[in-house]
Amino acid sequence: MDGWNGSGTTTSVASALGHSSRGFDLNPVMVVVAKARLVSKREHSSLDPLAADITEKALVDKAEPLVDDPLQLWMGRRSANDIRKLERAIQQLLLDHEHYETPATRPDFDKLSGIGAFLYLALFRTVRTLLEGFVASNPTWVKTPRSPRARLRPNTETIFGVFRAQILSMVDTGNGDLFEHQDMGRSEVCTASSESLPIEDESVSFALASPPYCTRIDYAVATKPELAVLGYTAESFRSLRESLLGTSTVPPVLPAENENWGPSCLKFLHQVRQHKSHASNTYYYKNHLQYFQGLYKSVGELRRVLGKDGRCVLIVQDSYYKDVKNDLPRIVIEMAYEHALRLTQYEHFTHTRTMAAVNPWAHSYRTTFTATESVLVFKHAA
């Protein structure tokens, strides 16, 4: 079981090794990506013919463009509608042939098959390919045009051609480990919050998760084009963004500091609040409060579902707020202790390339940008 399933490495490997697993992520884009990785090698011969059927259906689709289609942030109405026609054809073939609804509002979207997810992933990559010119120096942010005239207007032939090319590329290369296993084990991936997992108490024998690292990477913004494909409007995007652990937003009602978060966490929060840099005692302090509350609840939820003889492995990385070290591995260890989890093993690895070095302002506080990633193994305290 992987609490923050992300791109689905854990569930993919578990399946390849013959283990049953369940993966959860609150971001539906990552659920689609993870499901796509579960497609077995024996199924890939059907994917290009399916793509041909999808493009044929899309070509005869006479539906009018959606009102305020979120893809129109970057594209003209006709181009956005061509993407939507491909997406609608995927649903008609593999989810619901009678009723189309954007995934953002479909209550049954978690039922999407691995092949359906694979085709959605190809559509994600199609949009990413078309939007390459809008990628900022920070690769997790995609810029939007300053005026409607600057929106992209690729024609139908170009869009459908990129889609077919993405399918062929993913099949031919195998997309890394995408087709290396044969679905030996049963793996399930669905949408859920790490703070409220749909799993019975003490029913999991092994949990593996890597929570957001408190590095202020906004995972909703990082997947905004893909969320647009799924039909997330400005309102639904904002709601999802605010609910993700590690969000850069601040809620109207803030939690209070909790002594159960541990002395290392409280010391760090104090240092952030007392820092002399702009907004340290307001926005940045509040943002970290929100993060640590969500992290503490998530660790408690992992403790709830972990079996008496089970093991929980968390992969975390330290970081800095300006020149103040955020020792996230130590903080997680202390939070786990408060939830009656005991550290049994750990390994540390040093990374010399980090996202912090991308920010030019960071150089005024530090000259080195190495980070330590830690693998922490926990079990129930005796």
Mean pLDDT of the chain: 89
What stretch of H or E contains 24? Answer: strand 21-25
Token pair listed for 52: 């041909």
Final residue belonging to a domain, choices 148, 173, 198:
173
Final residue belonging to a domain, choices 173, 197, 224:
173
What residues make up the domain containing 40? Answer: 9-173
List pLDDT tens digits, range 46-102. Answer: 898 999 999 999 999 999 998 889 999 999 999 999 999 999 999 999 988 788 998
- pLDDT at 275 exceeding the cut of 80: yes
Q: What is the pTM of this model?
A: 0.90
Number of domains in the chain: 2
**Which ranges constitute the DSSP H helices of the chain?**
9-16, 28-36, 47-59, 77-94, 114-130, 156-173, 219-222, 224-229, 234-243, 263-274, 285-305, 328-338
The CATH number linked to 369 is 3.40.50
List pLDDT tens digits, range 344-369. Answer: 999 999 877 665 555 555 556 656 66
Final residue belonging to a domain, choices 173, 202, 229:
173
List pLDDT tens digits, range 224-253. Answer: 999 999 999 999 999 999 999 989 999 888
Shared domain check, 272 and 156: no
Exposure of 154 in the CB half-sphere (CA atoms within 13 A) = 19
Shared domain check, 266 and 149: no
pLDDT of res. 3: 46
What is the secondary structure of 305-361 as a DSSP string? HEEEEEEEEEEEE-EEETTEEE-HHHHHHHHHHHTTEEEEEEEEEEES--GGGG-GG
